[in-house]
Structure 1
Amino acid sequence: MINGFLQILIVINPRSGSGIKKDWPLLLQQYFNALPYNTQFCMLDNNGPENIVSNAITAFSPQLVIVVGGDGTISMVAQLLSGKGIALGIIPAGSANGMAKELNIPLTLNEALDICLNGFMQPCDMIEINSRHKCLHLSDIGLNAQLIKNFEEDNIRGKWGYAKVVLKTLWRKKQMNVVFTMRNTTIKRKAFMVVLANASKYGTGVQINPTGELNDGIFEIVIIRKLSVIELIKMLFHSGHFNPDNIESFAATHISITTKRFVHFQIDGEYMGKVKSLTARILPEKIVMMLPAKQ
């Protein structure tokens, strides 16, 4: 037990991902049977998953919480663990697994579990948004958030299903008039997307924020002034990066953002509705992540 863990809570979202579903409790029980840990499983359902996890954390008092799920499940658990000093490990089980890719966590179960148990404990930043929500990875307003909303409404999973709603989203796209305020500085821009980036890339591997680091004490504001069909395809299917001629970015520790009309908004892949204003600030070293040792 390199990191001294005794109590491990394993949070499983059985609905995460697409394709053939795995029997996660059985696979994990087989892995932990011969190991000296006290483990407890927490299975999520549609009835208040936050309360299920929160109650399990309170009752079990784990030193480590392992999440088996996609970006939305990871983000939800991360918000519950923020500031508690309880380590968070990831078993990628979603459709995109953007956070796992960001952190170089392998998609194979045994390799990911080895990082959860024996990896490097790294304090990481979070972004607090509107004094309520916390973002671990990437949040945005505009076209990508609208794409996520359409994706959820059509109840389609997987990259090809995601692609089916692209035309619908492009047909409805509108430029936003956005005002950014930091201290005594005000910036006005027209944009199709604005990203609050604590990390560097989306789940498909496309890089939106080359300077993004999870533990640098800042976040980046990325303004997408132009967004072509080709770059939407990159977001869906390819690694690489956005055309720098279409992007403007700057670093911040806090910011206020207002738009002329209500716009779509998402946090870590979860659609949050429409907003006309956001406030965001960095929360340094707010959560402890289990990462590959080389990081």
Structure 2
Amino acid sequence: MKKKVIFVVNPIAGGNDKAELVSAVQAYAESEDIAVVLYETNGEDDIAKIKALYAAHRPDRILVAGGDGTIKMVAEAVEKHDVILGILPAGSANGLSVDLNLPSSIPENLEIAFHGSHIDMDMISINGIRSMHLSDLGLNAQLVKNYEKGNTRGMIGYALNAFQTLSEQEGPFEVKIAANGTTIETTARMVVIANTQKYGTGVTINPSGIMDDGKFEIVILKNLDLLVFGKIITGNMPLDTGDVEIISTDKAVIHTETEVSFQIDGEYCGMLRKLDIHILPGQMKVAVPSAPPEN
């Protein structure tokens, strides 16, 4: 019987045309004598439809072309099955692909998606909602909110909304974090719940993040003046100062004194005051580049 893969495409992710990518996947699969079952998301019962496709075809791999939200949706659809997700970055928020060190060229990504080795990646439960990448309270969540309301997609959209967000940012907020048997109370500009290291822009916010270690990190940014912000966006997290504190744990409860903007994996979730968080170990098999041989 001919080998099959399911190929899930979000046609509107990132605001770009996916025709070239779809053609490249189909051509590669044909050269490998693999049948492609194409599914385009449309926002109507996508999870149920992907579940039905998996039940009908039982592939070893599902390829996903979209941003972090699309990947998370597919992972939820097949969470109880032994199937590897091959990521083809094609969204506005491609943070996971950055952390997986996926290459920029389509041919290299196809080789990994179809044949690469894999890791059993953790996910995080936040108030019962799954996060696979980076979620946060504060400044970046405001940026996500503004981006969703805007009309310009992709990195240009993020850049345009960054100016608006910085000009109207909410003030610092009081936060209480219970983790590892202790409670921390502090003032913060932003609190990140991180399973990985980088935002989709390539900015490293959690240098100690490992996607399959059974832990997540809480990154507390106490100060976000221009100097600290500049260090962060140039990849120089100011860990040697009192501006940033990182807690590694497998569960935590976060309370804020007032309601604060919150986002999960690039999707705005509203204004919240409490987050109940725990790790979900080994939830998703995801294809990764093969590690270079050790010397």
| TM-score, scaled relative to structure 1 | 0.89
Q: Distance in 1 between matches of 2:173 and 2:48?
A: 36
How many matched pairs?
A: 288
Provide the C-alpha distance between the structure 1 equivalents of 2:220 and 2:16, rounded to a whole number of angstroms: 34
- Which residue number corresponds to residue 205 of structure 1? 202
Structure 1 pair 91–121 and aligned structure 2 pair: CA distance change class (3 A): same
Deviates more, 1:152-161 or 1:217-226: 152-161
1:18 Cα deviation from its structure 2 partner: 3.9
Cα-to-partner distance string for 1:95-117 (whole Å, 9 max, x where unaligned): 34221111111122111111112
Asked if residue 260 in structure 1 is aligned to residue 260 in structure 2, the reply is no
Query: In 2 relative to 1, CA 102–183 (structure 1 residues): closer, same or farther, beyond 3 Å?
Result: closer
- TM (norm. structure 2) is 0.89
Alpha-carbon deviation of 1:259? 1.2
- Note the 1:85-234 alignment, pairs <5 A: 85-130=82-127, 132-170=128-166, 171-182=168-179, 184-229=181-226
Hey, what does 2:38 align to over in structure 1?
A: 41
Please, which moves more after superposition, 156-165 or 37-46?
A: 156-165
Distance in 1 between the 2:21 and 2:176 partners?
Answer: 46
Task: Give 3-state SS (helix, strand or coil) of 2:149's partner.
Answer: helix
Shift of 1:21: 4.9
Q: Which moved more, 1:67-76 or 1:182-191?
A: 182-191
Cα displacement (A) at 1:127: 0.9
Q: 1:248 aligned to 2:245?
A: yes
Shift of 1:64: 0.9
Match status 1:10 vs 2:7: yes
The SS at the match of 1:194 is: strand
Q: For 1:212, give the aligned amino acid.
A: G
Q: Which runs of 5+ in 1 are unaligned?
A: none
CA contact (8 A) 2:98 2:200 kept: yes
Structure 2: distance between partners of 1:78 and 1:228:
37
Deviations 1:77-105 (A, max 9, x none): 22333342211110111234221111111
* Cα root mean square deviation, aligned: 2.2
The list of structure 1 runs, each at least 4 consecutive aligned residues, that deviate by more than 6 angstroms after superposition, is none
> Unmatched 5+ residue regions in structure 2?
none
Q: Shift in Å at residue 263 of structure 1?
A: 1.5
Name the counterpart of 1:270.
267
